[in-house]
């Protein structure tokens, strides 16, 4: 039998296929079957009939969600939180990396780097409880500090107006140092000849940053921004869920937390899946749009 | 040597001030938690602690470490971290090695298939239904298997294997008649140790810090990892049943102190390894940023 070279290569490397078999099964079972399971968003899922036996209801669950009075609150909470988070968390690691890059390599630089990097390794549960403790109206550090200026104590987590700031800034506190490392790596890859040229041209330090450093990290920045957009809906969930309390719910209830509550606490599987699917679709569209924009602006994107 | 101009010197002062501010903003909350955890419960409750312990005591740690619930959680987390990391690293290498081979027919398609799962997923409930139908609800498997492979880690490992191990080594081994299993065992494992260490640490830390899968899939509290126990005590304010202290007042004060001590206890193991591995992490991140 005549075999193509392709087939021969496959046969010769059969062990590679044996190796990937288990990981491939993993992706099929835990990633692709759930995508297929998502058809229950278009059905009335009942445990007895199973996923495929349940009755089709078309877009009823989506319509129910769109008509639900909470829909606009959820969508706007999710969007505002995401946009605020992206806008605030994007420039700070860049500023930190540029500043670290200016100071001489030594004790001070290493200390700042080591300390700002560390919170990345603290779990979300712990960061949230630190936030709650520090902002606590009775014993918290924040209110003690305000007290020094004669400001009466504020129940930060009990007031919905503060929720977004707490969410965003505690996250920046945790991740800015980590994100800066990526930019530091990008900066170390900048061609030294460019610095040389800038010096010959008599550029000040600030001009050097603007004309050499910033263009040097642009591709990295674009990728980080795209990944940030792609992760928002996923990352946001755990933290919003933990920071949430009945008092701040009007601003802290986002699509992801709502999905969890409808789905697992109220056992409305189909409705929750429809909401989750809507969330994923929005996320995917966002990602595609940002990728396209980033490609146009900086010439580099994820694909 | 060119002398620094006035504006440049001024600029450098601004840079140092900025960095010092960053340092303070990150460090002070950590110091506050640490100081509180080492202070007298009474001082903590009355808000007298700032960045230095007041009436130094190890009371909080004693209470935390004598609480059965916390100890069980700690032990469970050790188990999940050890077993989970082993499973994750093994699966990641089994996928990354073939994907790093240019003669692996279908590798491009497979890469696209797994990267797609980073961009789009079925969602919480559809995944829950899979885990449920596999009978994993309320078993230790649920915390190890459903999130065993991180796509990002596979990409880092694949890129490393493709660019950092000379191709000639693989070719020589094949000429000598080594199978792919043999290559993986005798060449990849020893030569890729730095990369494997980085991947293992990333998996270990994320496993140690995760709570959400436990919240979703576990019902019996003797399986709870530490983070879920922490959430119940720290965020939900559930009193731990290990405390049998006389008066309600003292009990409340101890409960407050316990929170600070718990934060320190759960975080210290991770932060202790951190300075030793920070250098490798930086390297790992750079590997990840290389386009493959």
A186 to chain B, any CB pair closer than 8 A? The answer is yes
Question: Which of residues A39 and B284 earns the better pLDDT score?
Answer: A39
The yes-or-no verdict on residue A1 having pLDDT over 60 is no
Identify the weakest region by mean pLDDT among A3-17, A23-37, B182-196, B213-227.
A3-17
* Residue B278 with chain A: CB contacts under 8 Å: 114, 117
Instruction: Determine, for residues B235 and A129 on separate chains, whether the beta-carbon distance falls below 8 Å.
Output: yes
First vs last C-alpha separation in chain B = 41
pLDDT value of residue A22: 95
DSSP secondary-structure letter at B150? -
Determine the average pLDDT of the residues in B177-195. Answer: 85
Give the separation between CA A97 and CA A176, rounded to whole angstroms.
Answer: 10
* Residue A96 with chain B: CB contacts under 8 Å: 19, 22
Give the separation between CA A45 and CA B196, rounded to whole angstroms.
Answer: 43
The yes-or-no verdict on residue B65 having pLDDT over 70 is yes
Give the separation between CA B204 and CA B86, rounded to whole angstroms.
Answer: 9
pLDDT value of residue B92: 96
Burial of residue B112, with CB atoms counted within 10 A of its CB: 0-12 exposed, 13-18 middle, 19 or more buried: exposed
Smallest CA–CA distance, residue A222 to chain B, in Å, is 12
Burial of residue B276, with CB atoms counted within 10 A of its CB: 0-12 exposed, 13-18 middle, 19 or more buried: exposed
pLDDT digits (tens, 9 = 90+) for A57-107: 888 889 988 998 889 988 888 888 888 888 898 899 999 999 998 887 788
Instruction: Determine, for residues B130 and A130 on separate chains, whether the beta-carbon distance falls below 8 Å.
Output: no
Give the separation between CA A48 and CA B271, rounded to whole angstroms.
Answer: 48
What's the pLDDT band for B201 if we cut at 50, 70, 90? Answer: confident
What's the pLDDT band for B5 if we cut at 50, 70, 90? Answer: confident
Give the separation between CA B78 and CA A67, rounded to whole angstroms.
Answer: 47
A276 to chain B, any CB pair closer than 8 A? The answer is yes
What's the pLDDT band for B290 if we cut at 50, 70, 90? Answer: very low
Instruction: Determine, for residues A139 and B45 on separate chains, whether the beta-carbon distance falls below 8 Å.
Output: yes
Smallest CA–CA distance, residue B244 to chain A, in Å, is 23
CA-CA-CA-CA torsion sign (A102, A104, A110, A111): negative
Instruction: Determine, for residues B11 and A37 on separate chains, whether the beta-carbon distance falls below 8 Å.
Output: no
pLDDT value of residue B35: 87
Question: Which of residues A229 and B283 earns the better pLDDT score?
Answer: A229
A104 to chain B, any CB pair closer than 8 A? The answer is no
pLDDT value of residue B25: 92
Instruction: Determine, for residues B281 and A34 on separate chains, whether the beta-carbon distance falls below 8 Å.
Output: no
A140 to chain B, any CB pair closer than 8 A? The answer is yes
pLDDT value of residue B189: 87
Instruction: Determine, for residues B120 and A141 on separate chains, whether the beta-carbon distance falls below 8 Å.
Output: no
What's the pLDDT band for A300 if we cut at 50, 70, 90? Answer: low
Determine the average pLDDT of the residues in A32-40. Answer: 91
Instruction: Determine, for residues A264 and B5 on separate chains, whether the beta-carbon distance falls below 8 Å.
Output: no
Interhelix angle A214-243/A91-102, nearest 10 degrees: 130
Report the mean per-residue pLDDT for chain A: 84
B17 phi and psi angles, rounded to 5 deg: -60, -45
Counted residue by residue, chain B has a size of: 292
B270 to chain A, any CB pair closer than 8 A? The answer is yes
Residue B125 has, within 13 A of its CA and on its CB side, a CA count of 32
User: Which of B103, B110, B134 comes nearest A13 by C-beta?
Assistant: B103
* Residue A29 with chain B: CB contacts under 8 Å: 130, 134
**Best mutation target, B99, B100, B123, to test chain A (most A CBs within 10 A):** B123
User: Which of A103, A125, A220 comes nearest B234 by C-beta?
Assistant: A125
A72 to chain B, any CB pair closer than 8 A? The answer is no
Quote the pTM value.
0.85
Give the separation between CA A298 and CA A294, rounded to whole angstroms.
Answer: 6
Percent of chain A with pLDDT over 70: 95
Nearest Cα residue to A29 out of A19, A40, A37 = A37
Q: Quick one: tokens of B184?
A: 């993986």
Lookup result for tokens 């920070």: B278
A28 to chain B, any CB pair closer than 8 A? The answer is no
Residues with Cβ within 8 Å of B153's Cβ and at least 6 positions away in sequence, in order, are: B88, B92, B199, B202, B203
Instruction: Determine, for residues B113 and A27 on separate chains, whether the beta-carbon distance falls below 8 Å.
Output: yes
Burial of residue B258, with CB atoms counted within 10 A of its CB: 0-12 exposed, 13-18 middle, 19 or more buried: buried
pLDDT digits (tens, 9 = 90+) for A100-128: 988 877 889 888 988 898 898 888 899 99
Give the separation between CA A241 and CA A262, rounded to whole angstroms.
Answer: 14
CA of B20: which chain A residue's CA is closest? Answer: A112
Question: Which of residues A29 and B43 earns the better pLDDT score?
Answer: A29
Give the separation between CA A125 and CA A200, rounded to whole angstroms.
Answer: 52
Give the separation between CA B104 and CA A165, rounded to whole angstroms.
Answer: 49
Instruction: Determine, for residues B26 and A99 on separate chains, whether the beta-carbon distance falls below 8 Å.
Output: no
pLDDT value of residue B292: 33
Determine the average pLDDT of the residues in A220-224. Answer: 81
Give the separation between CA A54 and CA B262, rounded to whole angstroms.
Answer: 47
B276 to chain A, any CB pair closer than 8 A? The answer is no
pLDDT digits (tens, 9 = 90+) for B149-161: 999 899 889 988 8
pLDDT digits (tens, 9 = 90+) for A168-204: 999 999 989 988 888 888 888 888 888 888 888 878 8
Instruction: Determine, for residues A29 and B130 on separate chains, whether the beta-carbon distance falls below 8 Å.
Output: yes
pLDDT value of residue B287: 52
CB contacts < 8 A (A, B):
257
| Three-state DSSP state, B38 | coil
pLDDT value of residue B249: 63
Determine the average pLDDT of the residues in B22-38. Answer: 90
CA-CA-CA-CA torsion sign (A255, A235, B292, A300): positive
pLDDT value of residue B1: 45
* DSSP, residue by residue, chain A: ----HHHHHHHHTHHHHHHHHHHHHHHIIIIIHHHHHGGGGGEE--TTTHHHHSEE-TTHHHHHHHHSTHHHHHHHHHHHHHHHHHHHHTHHHHHHHHHHHHSPSSHHHHHHHHHHHGGGGS-HHHHHHHHHHHH-TTT-HHHHHHHHTTPPP--GGG-HHHHHHHHHHHHHHHHHHHHHHHHHHHHHTS-HHHHHHHHHTT--HHHHIIIIIHHHHHHHHHHHHHHHHHHHHHHHHHHHHHH--TTTHHHH--HHHHHHIIIIIS--HHHHHHHHHHHHHHHHHHHHHHHHHHHHHHS----
What's the pLDDT band for B245 if we cut at 50, 70, 90? Answer: very low
**Best mutation target, A13, A22, A26, A119, to test chain B (most B CBs within 10 A):** A26
Instruction: Determine, for residues A123 and B227 on separate chains, whether the beta-carbon distance falls below 8 Å.
Output: yes
pLDDT value of residue A234: 56
Secondary-structure percent of chain B, ordered helix, strand, coil, rounded to 5 = 75, 0, 25
Lookup result for tokens 């294997």: B161
Give the separation between CA A296 and CA A7, rounded to whole angstroms.
Answer: 40
């Amino acid at each position: 039998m005549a075999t193509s070279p392709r087939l021969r290569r496959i046969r010769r490397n059969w062990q590679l296929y044996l190796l990937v078999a288990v990981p491939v099964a993993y992706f099929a079972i835990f990633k692709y079957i759930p995508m297929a399971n998502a058809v229950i968003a278009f059905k009335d899922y009942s445990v007895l009939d199973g996923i495929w036996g349940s009755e089709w209801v078309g877009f009823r669950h989506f319509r129910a969600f769109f008509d639900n009075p909470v829909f606009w609150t959820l969508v706007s909470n999710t969007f505002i939180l995401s946009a605020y988070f992206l806008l605030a968390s994007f420039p700070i690691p860049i500023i930190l990396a540029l500043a670290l890059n200016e100071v001489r390599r030594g004790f001070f630089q290493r200390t700042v780097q080591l300390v700002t990097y560390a919170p990345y390794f603290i779990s979300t549960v712990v960061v949230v409880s630190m936030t709650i403790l520090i902002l606590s109206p009775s014993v918290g550090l924040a209110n003690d500090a305000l007290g020094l200026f004669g400001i009466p104590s504020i129940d930060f987590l009990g007031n919905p107006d503060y929720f977004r700031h707490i969410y965003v800034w505690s996250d920046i506190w945790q991740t800015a140092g980590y994100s800066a490392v990526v930019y530091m790596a990008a900066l170390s890859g900048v061609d030294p000849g460019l610095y040389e040229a800038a010096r010959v041209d008599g550029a000040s330090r600030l001009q050097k940053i603007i004309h050499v450093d910033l263009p040097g990290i642009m591709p990295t920045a674009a990728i980080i921004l795209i990944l940030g957009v792609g992760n928002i809906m996923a990352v946001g969930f755990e933290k919003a869920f933990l920071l949430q309390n009945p008092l701040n719910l009007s601003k802290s209830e986002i699509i992801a937390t709502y999905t969890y509550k409808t789905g697992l606490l109220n056992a409305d599987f189909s409705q929750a899946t429809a909401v989750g699917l809507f969330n994923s679709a929005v996320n995917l569209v966002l990602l595609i749009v940002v990728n396209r924009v980033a490609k146009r602006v900086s010439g580099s994107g994820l694909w | 040597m060119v002398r620094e101009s006035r504006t440049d010197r001024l600029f450098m002062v601004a840079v140092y001030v900025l960095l010092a501010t960053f340092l303070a903003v990150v460090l002070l909350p950590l110091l506050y938690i640490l100081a509180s955890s080492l202070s007298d419960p009474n001082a903590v409750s009355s808000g007298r602690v700032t960045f230095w312990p007041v009436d130094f005591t190890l009371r909080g740690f004693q209470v935390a470490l004598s609480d059965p619930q916390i100890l069980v959680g700690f032990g469970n987390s050790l188990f999940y971290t050890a077993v989970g990391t082993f499973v994750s690293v093994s699966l990641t290498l089994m996928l990354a090695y073939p994907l790093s081979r240019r003669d692996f027919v279908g590798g491009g398609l497979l890469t696209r298939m797994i990267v797609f799962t980073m961009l789009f997923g079925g969602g919480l409930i559809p995944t829950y239904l899979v885990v449920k139908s596999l009978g994993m609800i309320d078993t230790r498997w649920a915390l190890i298997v459903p999130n065993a492979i991180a796509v990002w880690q596979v990409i880092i490992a694949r890129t490393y294997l493709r660019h950092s191990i000379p191709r000639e080594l693989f070719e020589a081994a094949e000429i000598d008649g080594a199978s792919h299993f043999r290559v993986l065992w005798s060449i990849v494992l020893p030569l890729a140790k730095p990369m494997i260490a980085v991947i293992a640490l990333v998996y270990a830390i994320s496993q140690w810090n995760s709570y959400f899968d436990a919240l979703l899939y576990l019902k019996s509290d003797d399986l709870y990892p530490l983070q879920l126990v922490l959430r119940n005590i720290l965020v939900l304010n559930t009193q731990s049943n290990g405390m049998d202290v006389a008066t309600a007042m003292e009990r409340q004060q101890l409960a407050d102190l316990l929170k600070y001590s718990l934060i320190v206890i759960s975080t210290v193991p991770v932060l202790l390894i951190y300075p030793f591995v920070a250098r490798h992490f930086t390297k790992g991140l750079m590997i990840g940023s290389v386009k493959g």
